[in-house]
Structure 1
């Protein structure tokens, strides 16, 4: 399976709490819900199409808890996101949870890169990461992510958890798609392209 990462980012790279004011207030974050004013039809259509390509999900603890508190109650058969999340395998990476009770969920507590690599080696289409910043950063550093789907929003918050925090493994990316939605959000889809190349303009 291919591993894909989908996440929402501000222009200064913040991925924390896009959905609601109370989604993630850790670290004193007071800007939750920043994505809402920019949500449009294209976001919903594209997101649903991607979910339809999933054969499983990789979730960090916080994202798992947010999803598990909401999606099981969504029973509309026409909702592709709910249907896929509720039915498909979910692999939850956490060192603090003792169990995961959402249907078809499996807890991964240790040796994460090796176990994720084993999952990636199984037949199927996409094993999807949504949000899950700590997990996403770790898998990116281990070269396990095949595609990054980044929704960049025209807002600057000045603080909060970022996808690309200091200390990341240097990696080049190749842009394979870019488009702008009517609300001014820029969708950029990348695939890893090995190590960065360097040069010298003075030479």
Structure 2
């Protein structure tokens, strides 16, 4: 069965968005210093065949990625060429520039994700999309948590893990440290 991997960028004080709802705290890292994590991200993209996004994250991504080139972002072509699915009850179409449109999935995401996980193929990644991520966490549908711990403080904001959404019994499978100060943490649920 293919895995669903949740990848989130988290501030050092534990927030995925700042108090104003902005997600740009992790972009403060110098891109020139980030070459090692870019190469790791490119290798990671080779292991997936589907990118899952909520509506808000789709809109953020669609404003940048479809026009990005590999000169700007080493992962641009791989990310743009990978199948994308947007979970939304309000969007009718999800264009992606010159690349194929993202597929819209409406209704309850949980059975849709359960079905996707049962299909053959490579793993899937869910980026950002906090409300969707939390709904899937509640149903224990996340197989790996890739936490990109950023060396910035937001002093408040939106948390990924809450008292209601708090996966228990995670084991640390991998740690990578980058010259930007960012730390990659791979956690996997332990069997009950």
TM-score normalized with structure 2 length: 0.85
1:182 and 1:77 map into 2 onto residues whose CA distance is 21
Distance 2:70 2:134 in 1: 33
Which has the higher Rg, Structure 1 or Structure 2?
1
CA contact (8 A) 1:176 1:189 kept: yes
Q: Give the superposition deviation at 1:30.
A: 6.5
2:25/2:154 contact within 8 Å kept: no
Task: State yes or no: 1:62 paired with 2:56.
Answer: yes
Shifted more, 84-93 versus 59-68: the winner is: 84-93
Q: Number of matched residues?
A: 186
Residues 106-185 of structure 1 mapped to structure 2, 5 A cutoff:
106-185=103-182
Q: Which has a greater percent of strand?
A: 2
Highest RCO, 1 vs 2 (Cα 8 Å, sep ≥ 6): 2
Q: Which residue of 2 aligns with 1:8?
A: 9
CA deviation profile, 1:101-121 (whole Å, cap 9, x unmatched): 232421111121001111111
Q: CA deviation at 1:167?
A: 1.3
Equivalent residue for 2:90, pick from 89, 96, 116: 96
The answer as to whether partners of 2:175 and 2:186 remain within 8 angstroms in 1 is yes
- 1:96 and 1:141 map into 2 onto residues whose CA distance is 23
2:29 to 37, 47, 59: 37
Does residue 1:46 correspond to 2:40, yes or no?
yes
Using structure 1 for the length normalisation, give the TM-score. Answer: 0.81
Q: State the SS of the aligned residue for 1:16.
A: strand
Of 182, 186, 200, the residue aligned with 2:183 is 186
Alignment deviations for residues 109-161 of structure 1 (CA, whole Å, 9 cap, x no partner): 11210011111111111111111111111111111111111111222211122
Cα gap change, 1:124/1:78 in structure 2, threshold over 3 Å: closer, same or farther?
farther
* Segment of structure 1 superposing worse, 34-43 or 121-130: 34-43
Contact 1:139-1:145 within 8 A present in 2 as well: yes
Task: Please list the CA deviations of residues 73-100 of structure 1 after superposition, one character each: whole Å capped at 9, or x if unmatched.
Answer: 1354996632233222211111222322
CA-based RMSD? 2.4
Deviation at 1:194, TM superposition (A): 4.3
Matched, 1:87 2:81: yes
